[in-house]
Structure 1
């Protein structure tokens, strides 16, 4: 595999093919079953008020992001470290580490697309998405793109971790800590101290939440209190057809601004982070020859 006569492009093709063959021979399709089960459970528990009530929407979207990040991390957290001895041997005979990591990322991206299709389909069936999107006029397609990028970004982070640690056990030990940081530091469910705000900007969860909430136009979804006031007023005045007719106002969060610029910005950040994780993982794996095992 690591023949010096094979260039970087050739090695990418070889290792990408190896990833797909391993996926087939090791019944990798079972990961899609796992994604399906997780999607059904999440869609079942997030509640009927998702995309109808502001607070419920936040909770529901947070659950979706949790599912995406878990799926991405679980895809790849052991993918590199389990082959570390092979990588070490082949690196000494001409393997380009960048080709190896890129091959894994290409394969993982295809897998992430398939998983995003499952997530989007299940969520759309059980919890109707808003009818109008920001970029394409079809929210389900926007959500699919966001889910793909979130899962892939988490997947790339998993590859980074897998490039750093030396054993599969170590990878699984690190995984819960990575997941907790991503979820706690998202800023959605917990109010972060001011000093922790910069950390939030570095999380996949923060940008994933921004993408989904922007496409769902969260700022225009009434809060529970607003909805109760509207329903009470509508019972006594038939001319009141929207909560805005009451002159009520809600906090406007610019992170969830329903604009093309904001949605594309979140997608670009997720793509940038994915590339960054892959690059850092490549640099870290280059030191594989120094393993003393």
Structure 2
């Protein structure tokens, strides 16, 4: 009876911890909003950092390559949305085709599970919107795989096709990155020693001799709560809860079996 009481208390504690973890996920500041970033880089080394939920804008010319970088941790699925506002149709010669690509910390282009990576704006369209939902980031993967890993992710926005006379026309780009927590169902055993984030200082020195003209590398690209390193997921809680329930079931079964197995009182022998 004492053992059953202890196990029941452990089960209740595990349930409370699971509820606390769910509350922490719901209150994740990574899903906050705000227009906090302006500008965009012109390459991987000068990509402008953005956090989850922030809206970053940049004024550019048609034909420029625009780069942003954001952090993605294990168990998160990121969605990138970009909107390009075009000049008046009277100043344009025809349609234009735009594209966003997302590269991981190893600069491998990641596939989109959902969304429209490439869109065409007709001659009379004032804007075009693109989106890309990545696969869930894994805490660890085989060397030969192309699975997304924790670290920095680079957004590249550019135009693929437009009339030559439209090159250089002013455009305004806006990007926003959001993410969702996919939970323990996407967790794997193992984790990277460190997230795939470039080191500070090296990029600025390599980008240009005038280091002050180069933007700071994305050293601050980190989730607001820090990197989880992939070691924690709610799968641990469900495993503990399952073990406790199994132990309670075993104790209950043993008690029932022992109670039903008591020998009945035999009548006294005759004569």
TM-score (norm 1): 0.24
Select the structure that is richer in strand. Answer: 2
TM-score (norm 2): 0.25
Select the structure that is richer in helix. Answer: 1
Larger Rg: 2
